[in-house]
Structures are given as structure tokens and as C-alpha cells.
Amino acid sequence: MVSTRCKMLVKEELKKLGLHFIVVDLGEVDVMENISPQQRSQLKEALLNSGLELIDDKRAILIEKIKSIIIDMVHHTEEIVQINFSDFLSQKLNHDYTYMANLFSEVQGTTIGQFIIYHKIERIKELIMYDELNITEIAWKMNYSSVAHLSNQFKKFTGLSPSHFKKLRVKKRRPIDEIGIHPNVEPGTNGINNGNEINQVYQDTIWPKE
């Protein structure tokens, strides 16, 4: 996720190096000048000191873009995608979904569909902790077709029902950048070659509601 704070940090470091940028968004920076090796090294060091990373590898950049889109959709926007998410992702990043799914699974050790579910579960935890919505309203907000499906999926991934989780005195959550790290999934074993993998692995259409 490219937060406002991250964007501001990147912009400040670029300004310090005398570089002019057109856009800083979705883990990507469009700089007007050619960056010298020294400037690149200085930028990389400055970003690392701020907890950020300069990525040069095109495959790694694509994966970060996929993750950023998913995190933004789950945690930070109210936007409802009007087409299958696999098609939305392909259009957004101008890549074939099967290619992206295989690449993501190979590098991340989990499928795109699973990564989305992990983030949905953490977002549900957050909404439960806020205690502003009941479980029916949370199910609607998170685009589940029923409360029962949300509850079953939540319990499958956490071992607890939403009501049990709400009663815990200490509610454990994971930082966003650690969600979805699951190295035990073998690439190719979860339908990643199918463009409809997201909807076939999980009963609900993730966006929008059925």
C-alpha cells in the first residue's frame, strides 16, 4: 500500500536530490530526469532509512503493484469493482491474469485469491475492534453474500468465530505488510492457472456482491 506518508517521504527525498517527479503513486515514481548511479544509491539508502525499498526488478515491481491494489481495495476504499476482480486487475496493470497469478504464487508462496482473503480477515478484525458495525453490517461492507459465509471463513482462518474474537481481551492483528505471507503453499496447487481462480477457490465474488 502506498500511503500518504510514504508518498510524502518519497517526494521529499526526490526533492533533496534535485529530481523532478511527475507522479508518485502505486509504488511507482515517474521522474523527469535520468537518475545517475550516485543519485540512485543515495535515494535507495534514504528510503531504506525510512523503512521503504527501491525496487528495480520488473517482476518485483509488478507484484508490489498487485499487492498495493488489493490492500487499497480491502483497507482504504469504498469502491466496488463492477467486473470480475481478475479482469479488473488485468485491465489495471495491463497484464494477463494467468501470468500475474503464476508469478505472484511463485514469488509470494500464496495465490492472489488467498492474499485477498488474508487481508479481508484482518480488515474484519479491525472493524470488529472498532465496534461501530454489527456483524451483518460488516458482512455487507466486506462484500460477503451472507453472514454465515463471513463467519465460516473467519473461523477457518483464525480458529475463532467473529463473536468469540470480539470477546477476547487481547485481540491480535498483523501489520499490513506482514499479511498474506504464507510460504507453505505450493505454486500451481490452488487453481492459479485459471483466470477465475479468485471466485472458484472462494464461494463469494470478492468484488462486487453477487
**3-class SS letters over the chain:** CCCHHHHHHHHHHHHHCCCCEEEEECCEEEECCCCCHHHHHHHHHHHHHCCCCCCCCHHHHHHHHHHHHHHHHHHHCCCCCCCCHHHHHHHHHCCCHHHHHHHHHHHHCCCHHHHHHHHHHHHHHHHHHHCCCCHHHHHHHCCCCCHHHHHHHHHHHHCCCHHHHHHCCCCCCCCHHHCCCCCCCCCCCCCCCCCCHHHHHCCCCCCCCC
pLDDT at residue number 23:
62
**3-class SS letters over 130-167:** HCCCCHHHHHHHCCCCCHHHHHHHHHHHHCCCHHHHHH
User: What is the value of pTM for the model shown?
Assistant: 0.66
Domains of the chain in sequence order: 1-54 (no CATH), 57-210 (1.10.10.60)
| Residues in the chain where the model's pLDDT stays below 70 | 1-3, 23-28, 56, 80-82, 171-178, 180-210
pLDDT at residue number 177:
61
pLDDT at residue number 56:
67
Cβ contact 135:148 at 8 Å: no
Partner residues linked to 21 by β-bridges: 31
